[in-house]
Structure 1
Amino acid sequence: MSTAVDTGSLRQRPVNGTRQTPSEEGKKTDKLLDSHTEYEFGGPWGVLAIMTGFPVLMYYLWICLVFYDGQLVFPHSVDDIVPFLGRMWEHIRVDASPNLYAWKVYGGLIIYQLFLAWWVPGYMQEGLPVPSLGYKTLMYKCNAIGCIYLTWITAAALHWTGIFRLTSIIDNFGHLMTVAMIVGFGVSFGMYFLTVATGNQIRMSGNFIYDVFMGACLNPRIGPIDLKMWLEVRIPWVLVFFMSVSGACKQYETYGYVTPNMAFMCLATWLYLNACIKGEECIPQTWDMFHEKWGFLVIFWNFAGVPFSYIYSVVYMATHDPENYRFSTPTYVLLFGTLLTAYYIWDTSMSQKSRFKMQTQGIFEYRKTFPQLPWGTLHNPKYIQTAHGNRLLIDGWWAYSRKPNYVADWIMSLTWGLCQGTCSPIPYFYSVFFIAVLVHRVGRDFERCALKYGKDWDAYCRAVPAKFIPGVF
């Protein structure tokens, strides 16, 4: 058994067809990691604060964006607190009520995406061995690319026939957001009770609210549909893209043209969504599928958080005069160039890591879904063989940073705010919130890896010293 404590543990040879299994010591470590040992996110009180505070924050930012010219507003004095809260509530009651139209639109999207996920043929991808299932590997139906293209065609037909105008998405943003929140809460609590009732819960703390937040089940499924993977792409990023298109339609109907800024958001959201669907077979190799449970943390965020808090720049630009955020040509070149560069690094680094894992399992198969970018697959990559049995990639983008995908992903999020300049601070919420999430997630990940790999993790950190940016951090 090799132990990666020096350069002698580094390997550079073909990895395809050499499936790795954990050592007996590795299995003991996996068992420890697959049990509840300590609270995260501040424990029960911390997660309760998140579950109540974040929806309130979403409403507040939306109200400021739409009704207060994109500026943050506060009570002017102690005496103004009650009237201020009254005004906030009135906007929610009137402009964000969960009306029947919003239920039809949001519910229709969910039902249609579930139908397509079940019905459309797809590529079957094997996932990573799951310790809690005795290292059994699950199969995932990857048909997002067909489903999303059919969704685009359907939406275009509904728009041009006038049955469902895409501009109505922006026009009903508040109503849709409330419905999404209700669905997020409902599914989170419903899945908790269903999982406990059927005896399929794992890694439980014993605290009700904390377990609802973190989740009780790992791989919930309806027939061939893995709900966790389905929700990660089919609802949030579809909505984010269509909101950008809705904003572009709104601009065109109002001004007779679409600004480069709005076109930027259409491109940015299309790139993200298309990356998820063209490389869907890589998703089963991620931490989200392998370890993260399906609780409020994931469910609410995908149903409501992502689509209704990442896209503030589109909401602002769709409701404000384009003269407020017109840039020079060099600025547009820099903006688009930054996005495309960051996207290339993000796409190829994610591809390199996921395909390396598939190569290690001996299940890699190259798919020609558009667009497959150069350097997305590493041949004979360098890695560190661990005593646990896993391999740590130290090649490609992963030779320079332990999280190159996070760096590129965050830069993309920053451009989503920069596209409207300094008109409003609210569109920068995505990048500010995202960096906090990434730093926290990295801490969780590195702590887990240090426990899992021991001295081999120390060797990996010496081989790749930069957590994010080489020479900086």
Structure 2
Amino acid sequence: MASIKDTKSAGKTSRSRSKSKSRSRSRSRSRSRSRGRTSSVTRQRKPTTPKPKQEKMESNSPARTRNRTPERAVTPTRKSARLQNLTLAPEERKPLEFEPSAEEEKRVSRTKKTEFGGAIGAFFMILGLPITVYFFNFVCSKNNCKPHLPIVSLDWRNYFDGQAAAIYLGWMAFQAVLYMIPVGPVVMGQPLRSGQRLKYRCNGFYSLCISLVAFGAAVYFKLPTGIVMQKFTQLITTGIVFSSVLSVILYVKARRGPNKQLAPGGNTGNILYDFFIGHELNPRVGSFDLKFFCELRPGLIGWLMLNLVMLTEKYNKEGAFPPALTMVVVFQALYVADALWFEDAILTTMDIIHDGFGFMLVFGDLVWVPFLYCLQTRYLSLYGVKMEWYCLVFIGILNLIGYYIFRGSNSQKNEFRKNPYNPALAHLETIPTSSGKRLLVSGWWGLVRKPNYLGDLLMATAWSLTCGFSTPLVYFYPLYFAILLIHREYRDAEQCQKKYKASWDRYCERVKYRIFPYIY
């Protein structure tokens, strides 16, 4: 073995000194075999500097033993971002983002089942909703508030006014500024189709308080707040134009945006239907969420402001607050304040997680709610209704019962969603589902499937009862609201059936009534 090693060492030394370009045939064959090459392949070898000897493992075939440098001994390996992230300390790890590929973008499923009568229904609702608002404005005026065919003026100045447009747009801008104030908790929304969860700043109650202070200051300094009622029709027109333009902008924005942002229910490919139902789920400009902003702020607070204007005008004329009008304004103020105090609860509703933001929601939030929901207060401000005290007490109790059911059921649902293992909810019975969630089958949610809808309808009825029975027009709101909530319950039941399957069937067997106990 010693002679073999000496011979090999001498051979290496002679090659390095003479820098010979030829190799012996036997050495060439040996190296060719060891490298898996044929003996006929020759290559030039660049001069190398002598390297220190390294210890070699003894082998029965010394001719096939080769020296390897440390650099060649290390085999480079590729690591994915996920594996590299795991090698870091927990505080150094970065959240991984998963972007859908181009093929996944194209494979976004189309909406197959339509609602509201499809494209034809959407067409008639786009025309019919503004006409309905105009109709109740004309038919319930200071001259008459009973069902009749109103005389419609053809003078465009009765429908549009620059001052009214400035008031409406100024109100929208004022609420937008309040929305951007960095106060209030930041709440995470429900997971989107991409797995992302959007952030929402819930400062709606602060916006309400600031708006009330601003209105109080306007009354204190005797600003002409009554101009709002003088320009009521023109304000409606401005709202219709604004909501229509905004809906067009939202649809165009959705067509140019990524498919992952489209609404599950508004991606049929039919322009008219998608425009009405909403093509994009959560349209944003930077961090400004347009749907979340419009859902409760301008319309809901605007509804309360209109009520306060009418109450103030009535007080200025009569020198006192009429009991019936004051009662309905207080009831509706409580309703608005409740919605904004529990603003984060809207993030789990169908409007936010399923419906896109199109003409249906835009018009409903910015025109339908403020200008039609104030129908009772408008009637009472034009035609004072005197009621016996016991009638007012009965109406007050009915409203409080409705609010108790409404708030109790919503609070129970919200607490259960936040922490199903809350000890305060341990007495409630539930049904497990395949998704890991549980369905409440006791408490308020064991009485009917939608107890919050029941409370909502009781309050709506109480508001209309304050107007008496001189005209059926004031009962439009509870009638419309009943149809709306029954349809919404039907839509929600379909979604739950798809999501929970057999567990939902068990729930329906356990809780048989939808909204009204022993009736429906």
TM-score range, shorter chain: 0.7 to 0.9
2:289 to 223, 226, 242: 226
SS at match of 2:141: helix
Distance in 2, Cα, partners of 1:248 & 1:34:
51
- 1:137 deviates by 2.2
1:101-180 equivalences under 5 Å are 101-130=163-192, 132-134=193-195, 136-163=196-223, 165-180=224-239
% same residue: 27
1:257 to 296, 320, 345: 320
Structure 1 residue 43 corresponds to structure 2 residue 96: no
**2:304 matched residue in structure 1:** 241
SS at match of 1:66: coil
Provide the TM-score with structure 2 as the length reference. Answer: 0.75
1:287-326 equivalences under 5 Å are 287-320=350-383, 322=384, 325-326=385-386
1:88 to 143, 147, 152: 152
Q: Is the 8 A contact 1:177 1:304 kept in 2?
A: yes
Structure 1 residue 347 corresponds to structure 2 residue 394: no
Distance in 2, Cα, partners of 1:282 & 1:162:
37
Distance in 1, Cα, partners of 2:428 & 2:110:
33
Q: Is the 8 A contact 2:409 2:451 kept in 1?
A: yes
1:52 to 93, 116, 127: 127
Residue deviations 1:249-296 (CA, integer Å, cap 9, x gap):
111111111111111121122111110111112221222222121111
**1:268 matched residue in structure 2:** 331
Counterpart residue identity of residue 457, structure 2: W
Q: Is the 8 A contact 2:119 2:273 kept in 1?
A: yes
Q: Is the 8 A contact 1:384 1:460 kept in 2?
A: yes
Q: Is the 8 A contact 2:188 2:199 kept in 1?
A: yes
Q: Is the 8 A contact 1:44 1:209 kept in 2?
A: yes
Q: CA 1:67/1:332 → structure 2, altered by over 3 Å: closer, same or farther?
A: closer
- 1:388 deviates by 2.7
**1:187 matched residue in structure 2:** 246
1:384-395 equivalences under 5 Å are 384-395=431-442
Q: CA 1:68/1:48 → structure 2, altered by over 3 Å: closer, same or farther?
A: farther
2:509 to 441, 453, 462: 462
Residue deviations 1:30-70 (CA, integer Å, cap 9, x gap):
xx998512121111111110110121121112111005510
Distance in 2, Cα, partners of 1:146 & 1:120:
11
Residue deviations 1:194-215 (CA, integer Å, cap 9, x gap):
1212234344111111000011
Q: Is the 8 A contact 2:306 2:374 kept in 1?
A: yes
SS at match of 1:133: coil
Q: CA 1:259/1:139 → structure 2, altered by over 3 Å: closer, same or farther?
A: same
Distance in 2, Cα, partners of 1:89 & 1:166:
25
SS at match of 2:243: helix
Q: Is the 8 A contact 2:263 2:354 kept in 1?
A: no
Counterpart residue identity of residue 172, structure 1: K
Q: Is the 8 A contact 1:339 1:415 kept in 2?
A: yes
**2:68 matched residue in structure 1:** none
**2:46 matched residue in structure 1:** none
Structure 1 residue 434 corresponds to structure 2 residue 481: yes
Q: Is the 8 A contact 1:64 1:73 kept in 2?
A: yes
- 1:398 deviates by 0.8
Counterpart residue identity of residue 99, structure 1: D
Q: Is the 8 A contact 2:262 2:356 kept in 1?
A: no
1:16-27 equivalences under 5 Å are none
User: Which stretch of the first structure deviates more once superposed, 219-228 or 297-306?
Assistant: 219-228
SS at match of 1:235: helix
Q: Is the 8 A contact 2:110 2:269 kept in 1?
A: no
Distance in 2, Cα, partners of 1:243 & 1:397:
34
- 1:423 deviates by 2.5
Unaligned runs of 5+ in 2: 1-106
Distance in 1, Cα, partners of 2:278 & 2:438:
29
Distance in 2, Cα, partners of 1:262 & 1:379:
43
Provide the TM-score with structure 1 as the length reference. Answer: 0.82
Count of aligned pairs between the two proteins: 410
Q: CA 1:350/1:169 → structure 2, altered by over 3 Å: closer, same or farther?
A: farther
Unaligned runs of 5+ in 1: 1-31, 75-83, 365-376
Q: CA 1:202/1:317 → structure 2, altered by over 3 Å: closer, same or farther?
A: closer
Counterpart residue identity of residue 201, structure 1: L
Distance in 1, Cα, partners of 2:389 & 2:301:
30
Counterpart residue identity of residue 248, structure 1: L
**1:367 matched residue in structure 2:** none
Structure 1 residue 216 corresponds to structure 2 residue 276: no
SS at match of 2:147: coil
Counterpart residue identity of residue 251, structure 2: Y
Structure number with greater CO (CA < 8 Å, separation at least 6) is: 1
Q: Is the 8 A contact 2:263 2:281 kept in 1?
A: yes
Q: Is the 8 A contact 2:190 2:197 kept in 1?
A: yes
Structure 1 residue 98 corresponds to structure 2 residue 173: no
Distance in 2, Cα, partners of 1:345 & 1:33:
40
- 1:227 deviates by 2.0
Q: Is the 8 A contact 1:213 1:297 kept in 2?
A: yes
